[in-house]
A and B are shown apart, each in its own frame.
Chain A
Amino acid sequence: MNVGVRVDRKLDHATIVLSGPFDLAHSTEVMHAVKSAEAHLHKCRSAEVSLAQVNRIDGSGAVLLARLLDRLAANGCRTDISEGGNPEAARVLALYRRHRTDHPSLPSRTMNPLTRLGAIAAQIPARANDAFDFTGRCAAALPKLAAAPRSVDWGSLPKLMQEIGADGLPVASAANLLVGIIIGFLGVSQLGRFGAIAFVPELVVVAHFRELGPLVTAIVVAGRSGAGLASEIATMKVSEEIDALRSMGFDPIRWLIVPRCLALALTLPLLTWIGDVMALAGGLAATLAITNMPARAYIEATLNHITAAHLFVGLVKTPFLALAIGLIACGQGLLTQGGAAAVGRRTTSAVVQSILGVIVISALFTFFFALLGI
């Protein structure tokens, strides 16, 4: 049976006879039938609505009918419902008419690209303020930390080091090994053109120990542990665990952030050092694979070029990179407001900002050491 809304008009009185199924499955037909009937109800003073032939009605059908009756009433048309042995339909219709509320329509949250750009720009001062505020609170926490060492969750430090260091070792080692292989291949292909394959071990040592080792390891840690820390603290924030800590007199910065930053600062140099060894192995493997250089000669050349300066220049920056990752990740976590979506957004921001921060800090160190001639 099709949906029908028949209008019998006599001067300014109309009889509206509804027939068929008025349900969700037929809501498009109901909407079209209602619209076409409404055209015949212009300037109508009274209308009787017959529900006798409605063979099924649910909330969706009732809403569309109820809104028609609301519009008629708003135009001064009095409407009477004739149940016609269908009290269920009358009841559903009455329910939706009873709950009709008039309220000003709110502006949609959908923004055009220009508005979005403006909104992002408008957020910059607040974000900068948040970052400075967080950095300041971290700095202020250090003297308090010295005065009250028990305000730090030292017990979590071994577990955090295990999660950041030992659990992250395979992926950090693999990344460094592959970078070592890449430098090895690149060195052989480029230096080989000048007959300078003997310099490949030095290239691997210098490039990886001074720059790529700390950078690659820090990027891996930022992606892996930075995301983990940010999402953990963000989830604690939205589930009110941070508020609970505060209410019990704990400073979240000292209790949560200090051990995490410390764990990062202790493990990143170790991961970098192991990564350097893996890169040497990668460079060796690549060189042996495509040249006739004996392994013994490669190893001797490598050992000759590993100097304290190269090792120092690389490792000295790792605690700073670790602190940047820890502060950015934990800071983003603490700034989270809202629900699951906010956790995801803050985690993404933490990873992006950590990686960018790591690259910027590495570049500054390189510039600084170049000025010093180290």
Chain B
Amino acid sequence: MLMEHVTFEVKRGSVFAILGGSGSGKSTLLRHLIGLERPQAGRIDIEGVGEPQHHEGAPPFGVLFQSGALFSSMTLAENLALPLTTWTSLRGPIVRELVQAKLELVGLGPFSEHLPGEISGGMKKRAGIARALMLEADLLFFDEPSAGLDPISAVELDQLILALSRDLGITVVIVTHELPSIFLVADDCIVLDKAAKGIVARGDPRKLRDESKIPFVHNFFTRSSPGASTDPGG
């Protein structure tokens, strides 16, 4: 079993980060949270959704996958329109207007007729965010949103995530190990450890960085090797 006794709560409207090293189970936990996998024991309960594994109909949350996961045969506009035309009765001009507004929101207004293969990795991720927003879910899950991006694109994406959280009141759950992103966007976090098979720390990431006495957590936030000094000042 990869993890056991994993219990945490996410405050509505906050940006919550799931942190941990490679193989700690971050992505597995995310796949459980969005209902792609079932826990061997216990249950996941999302307020207003119930157990995501048993949810039917329009998805109550949006998901941004690591690669953006856009459909390569569809233009960006068609990718974004898909959830609307599948789960609502909206058609025609109103769909085009909503799609265009979401593309403009993520800075991709002029690219509506582009195919995913014709845009950069950062743009694909922003288009993925726009698609995740189409059904106006107030909960979004992001898997490694800034992985593989240059620092400027990563900061732009982080600022977009912040704007979505603050201006739209969306709750954002991010799986990441990018420290700059964590300190910029996350209000709260949990830290997973493979050896502990679960959560080893939780709280404000900035406080954990400065105050945590747990060697793994301190090393994680200061990017030092396990053998290095555990003195925050040194």
* Residues in chain A within 8 A of chain B (CB atoms): 23-25, 27-28, 31, 58-60, 63-64, 66-67, 88, 91-92, 94-96, 99-101, 103-104, 106-109, 337-342
Contacts of B117 in A (CB 8 A): 337-339, 342
Whether the pair A107, B110 counts as a contact (CB closer than 8 A) is no
Query: Which of A25, A103, A337 is most buried by chain B, counting CB atoms within 10 A of its CB?
Result: A103
Q: A28-B94, A109-B113 are in contact. Are A339 and B88 (CB under 8 A)?
A: no
12 further A-B pairs in the complex, CB-CB below 8 A; given A28-B90, A101-B109, A106-B113? A25-B88, A59-B105, A63-B98, A95-B167, A96-B101, A101-B110, A107-B113, A338-B115, A338-B117, A339-B72, A339-B117, A341-B71
Q: How far is the CA of A341 from the CA of B71 in the complex (A)?
A: 8
Contacts of A58 in B (CB 8 A): 136, 168
Whether the pair A31, B167 counts as a contact (CB closer than 8 A) is no
Contacts of B9 in A (CB 8 A): none
What distance in Å separates the Cβ of A186 from its nearest Cβ neighbour in chain B?
A: 43
Contacts of A339 in B (CB 8 A): 72-73, 116-117
Contacts of B232 in A (CB 8 A): none
Whether the pair A60, B136 counts as a contact (CB closer than 8 A) is yes
Q: How far is the CA of A94 from the CA of B135 in the complex (A)?
A: 20
Residue of B nearest to A64 (CB): B97
Contacts of A94 in B (CB 8 A): 167
Contacts of A95 in B (CB 8 A): 105, 163, 167-168
What distance in Å separates the Cβ of B167 from its nearest Cβ neighbour in chain A?
A: 4
Contacts of B88 in A (CB 8 A): 24-25, 27
Contacts of B102 in A (CB 8 A): 59, 63
Residue of A nearest to B107 (CB): A99
Whether the pair B167, A91 counts as a contact (CB closer than 8 A) is yes
Whether the pair B115, A88 counts as a contact (CB closer than 8 A) is no
Q: How far is the CA of A95 from the CA of B166 in the complex (A)?
A: 10
Interface majority SS (helix, strand, loop, mixed), chain A: helix
Contacts of B101 in A (CB 8 A): 59, 63, 66-67, 96, 99
Residue of A nearest to B72 (CB): A339
What distance in Å separates the Cβ of B204 from its nearest Cβ neighbour in chain A?
A: 24
Q: How far is the CA of A27 from the CA of B72 in the complex (A)?
A: 29
Contacts of A60 in B (CB 8 A): 98, 136
Contacts of A108 in B (CB 8 A): 113
Q: How far is the CA of A91 from the CA of B168 in the complex (A)?
A: 8
CB-CB contacts below 8 Å: B45-97 with A: 71-73, 75, 88-90, 94, 97
Q: How far is the CA of A25 from the CA of B90 in the complex (A)?
A: 9
Of the candidates B89, B112, B166, B168, the one whose C-beta lies within 8 Å of that of A59 is B168
What distance in Å separates the Cβ of A62 from its nearest Cβ neighbour in chain B?
A: 8
What distance in Å separates the Cβ of B136 from its nearest Cβ neighbour in chain A?
A: 4
21 contacts between A and B (CB under 8 A): A25-B88, A28-B90, A59-B101, A59-B102, A59-B105, A64-B94, A67-B101, A88-B169, A95-B105, A95-B167, A96-B105, A99-B105, A100-B104, A101-B110, A104-B110, A107-B113, A338-B117, A339-B116, A340-B72, A340-B73, A342-B72
Q: How far is the CA of A244 from the CA of B95 in the complex (A)?
A: 42
Q: How far is the CA of A119 from the CA of B115 in the complex (A)?
A: 18
Contacts of B71 in A (CB 8 A): 340-341
What distance in Å separates the Cβ of B32 from its nearest Cβ neighbour in chain A?
A: 26
What distance in Å separates the Cβ of A29 from its nearest Cβ neighbour in chain B?
A: 11
Q: How far is the CA of A64 from the CA of B99 in the complex (A)?
A: 12
Whether the pair B98, A341 counts as a contact (CB closer than 8 A) is no
Residue of B nearest to A59 (CB): B136
Contacts of A107 in B (CB 8 A): 113
Could you give, for residues 165-206 of chain B, a 1 whenever the CB lies within 8 Å of some chain A CB and a 0 otherwise?
Answer: 011110000000000000000000000000000000000000
Contacts of B98 in A (CB 8 A): 27, 60, 63
Query: Taking the complex as formed, is B29 at the interface, i.e. its CB lies under 8 A from any CB of chain A?
Result: no
Residue of A nearest to B101 (CB): A63
What distance in Å separates the Cβ of B113 from its nearest Cβ neighbour in chain A?
A: 4
Contacts of A103 in B (CB 8 A): 109-110
Q: How far is the CA of A92 from the CA of B169 in the complex (A)?
A: 9
Whether the pair A341, B72 counts as a contact (CB closer than 8 A) is yes
Contacts of B73 in A (CB 8 A): 339-341
Please provide the 4 A-B residue pairs with the shortest distance between their CB atoms, ordered closest to farther: A339-B72, A341-B73, A63-B101, A58-B136
Residue of A nearest to B135 (CB): A24
Q: How far is the CA of A104 from the CA of B116 in the complex (A)?
A: 20
Query: Taking the complex as formed, is B133 at the interface, i.e. its CB lies under 8 A from any CB of chain A?
Result: yes
